[in-house]
Amino acid sequence: MRNQTMLLALLFSINALAATPQELLKQYEGQAKQDNPAFSGFSAERGASFYKTERNHSNGQKVSCATCHTADPRHQGKTRANKVIEPMASIINPQRFTDAAKVEKWFGRNCKDVLERACNAQEKGDYIQYLVNVK
């Protein structure tokens, strides 16, 4: 009995970190509505263009999300140190966008890296909307 209770507690604590992409989108939707009362939903199309748009970084380089994640998100990407990054598209890599803490950690790092600012909720939602819908 005692062991069962502990097992349940463990399962619930693991579950608290896990999420589905739809749950994450719901969270970002709430934030996006707060940021902008005229928010009218996420767009895979906007997400695709956000993913591919090259920006002029203050270090003189051109950089986009596709720089590391590749222009086709069904393919493996590469870090600047040439380490493999597993594909971003959910259809190939269902683990994507299922861990809220991981997602927030990498949005934080990569948005700063590429945009030199944080991404807002609309951009995050569009990005996920795009990548969960790549066929």
Binding site for ligand HEC (CB under 6 A): 63, 65, 67-69, 79-80, 85-86, 96-97, 102-103, 106-107, 110-111, 113-115, 127
What residues contact residue 115 under an 8 Å CB cut-off, 6+ apart? Answer: 55
What residues contact residue 102 under an 8 Å CB cut-off, 6+ apart? Answer: none
Q: For ligand HEC, which is the closer residue by CB, 48 or 111? A: 111
Q: For ligand HEC, which is the closer residue by CB, 6 or 118? A: 118
Q: For ligand HEC, which is the closer residue by CB, 7 or 30? A: 30
Distance of CA 4 to the CA centre of its chain: 35
CB of 33 to ligand HEC, least distance (A): 20
Report the C-alpha gap between 106 and 111 in whole angstroms: 8
